[in-house]
Amino acid sequence: MTATTLESVTAEAARVITDITGVVLPEKKPLADIHLLDDLDIDSLSLVEVVVAIEEEFEIKIDDSETKTLTTLGQVGQLVLQRTQDK
């Protein structure tokens, strides 16, 4: 996938997350503010699956140390956008 804007990358990352975990995104919260643990109940094992799927979808690499800092969809989107622009 070619990433163009933070909003489109975040939306695509959200789609990947829902596909992998089956969670439903809260409708009344801005996408970027959705918390992976508090709002989506994604544990560390699920987060690993999500990161692998995002790496494959966007053809990027996310370091393990960076994975630990991802707490919101907005942070996921920012990291993905940064990685795709660095290619």
Say whether 43 is catalytic: yes
Three-state SS across 10-39?
HHHHHHHHHHHHCCCCCCCCCHHHCECCCC
What phi and psi values does residue 54 have, to the nearest 5 degrees? -70, -40
Which of 39, 43, 63, 64 is the catalytic position? 43
Catalytic residues: 43
